[in-house]
Each structure stands twice: as C-alpha cells, then as structure tokens.
Amino acid sequence: MSPQAGMMLVKQVLPLIGGAIGRGVVKPVGCEDAKDLKAEGIAIAAAMLDAAEQKGKPVTPGNIAFYAIQSLRVGRRSGYAGNSDVMSAGARMAGHVIVTSMDEPRGTPSDDPEGEITLHDFLADPHEDAGAEAGRRIDWENAVSTMDSRMQGVVEGTAQGISNQEIAAQYGISAPRCCQVREAAAHKIAAAWGGNPVVDATQETAWAKHVRAYAQRRACRAERAGRMS
C-alpha cells in the first residue's frame, strides 16, 4: 500500500468506520466489542484499498468505508473463511453454529434438579492425559535414579505382584529385610515427589468423583420413583 493510500485509510476511512460502529450500524457477535469491530473494519478496508491500488482502480474513502461496513454487518471479518468456518461471526449469524458454555447444566430437571452435571462431565476423557502420563514417568525415573539395583528390583517386583518370599530369595535376603528395603524405597519416593505419593496416585480425580456421584444420585432417584409408583 502506498503512503497516499495509507493516509487515506487513517485520516478518512477509519473515522467513517468508527462512526458507523459507534452509532450501532454494526452489531457485535459473540464476545466482540466496538474495538474488535473497528480493528476488523480497518483491516478489511486496508485489504480493499491495497487490492484496488494494485489494479489501478480509483476509489473514494466513502466507497471503501461503505463496503467495509457492509462486510462487517453480514459477518465477514479480516480472517473470514466463509460461513462453514465454525469460528467465524458469519457462521453464527447464519445459525450454523451455536455457542454453549462448558459450565451450562445439561441434565434434566428430574434427574439433575441442582444443575450439577455440565458439558465438562460429558466431554471429559476417562483416560489419563498424555502430558500427565509423561510427567509421571519422568518423576518415576528421577525417584528410581536415587535407588541401588537391589532396591529397584524390590520395588519393581512388588509392583508386578511377586510375593515377598520370591523377591527375598532372588536377592539373597530375608523376607523382613525385603520389607525394610521396600520401606526405605518408599521414603526415597516421598522425598523425591513430596507430599504423600501413595494417596496422590490412588485417589479419585475430582471430575470422576463428580460424575460417579451424579450417576449414583440418578440411580437413587430412579429407584425411589419406582417404589412410589
């Protein structure tokens, strides 16, 4: 864009677009505000000016501002990819997309009168997050690195379900000594991880507990309804 076109954009086109937005000619969509619309409008106008200049077509500030405002009114934005783009304002204006809060209650009044079940509960992945799994593996490797080979073998054997007597026989120690080694390993793990690693590893996640409690309440309500009928 030439300096002359840039000056036209800033000095003449931008005030026209800002004035139209201030009068409510263009309505925000979703979380947009007047500043967002003004930024989008100037971006659209700049693209129009640049395209016209490259083609050698004469334009006026009023024409550029008018078509930029019309584009905003129908849902076009500077990164517009058509009404098939679920993130675009045009798709929402056309009714192709409905935005729903993840915290919005989704249960029926009879099953969930307090509105406790939300989209978070329906969409939550029951499997562990890959990042959490990788982090746990790194933590485990750091903890194991502080142990000698015998202690590592006792811990791994215990995790595999091998009996205390078999582990003791494998390393030539007594069963009570095997228990002592395992307790020492537990102290090393606790020192490396902090807190109570056994409790942290076995406790139920908050979201899973919430879904399980909701399912239990729903079953109880259905059972009571069956008795009353």
The pLDDT assigned to 122 comes to: 67
pLDDT, tens digit, for every residue of 111-127?
666 666 777 666 666 66
DSSP, res 166:
H
What pLDDT is stored for residue 68 in this prediction? 92
Cβ atoms of 46 and 68 closer than 8 Å: no
Confidence tier at 107 by pLDDT (50, 70, 90): low
Residue 110 Cα distances to 102, 113, 212, 217, 218, angstroms: 21, 6, 18, 11, 9
Residue 86 has pLDDT above 80, yes or no: no
Asked which of 60-64, 81-85, 123-127, 210-214 is least confident by mean pLDDT, the reply is: 123-127
User: How far is C-alpha 138 from the chain's CA centre?
Assistant: 24
On the question of pLDDT at 58 being above 70, the answer is: yes
Residues 122-133, mean pLDDT to the nearest whole number: 67
| Six-digit token string for 228 | 């009353």
To the question of pTM greater than 0.85 for the whole model, the response is: no
Cα gap 111→157, rounded to integer Å: 47
Rg (CA), the chain: 32
Can you give the pLDDT at residue 105? 72
Asked if 92 and 110 count as a contact pair (C-beta separation under 8 A), the reply is no
Q: Does the pLDDT of residue 217 top 70, yes or no?
A: yes
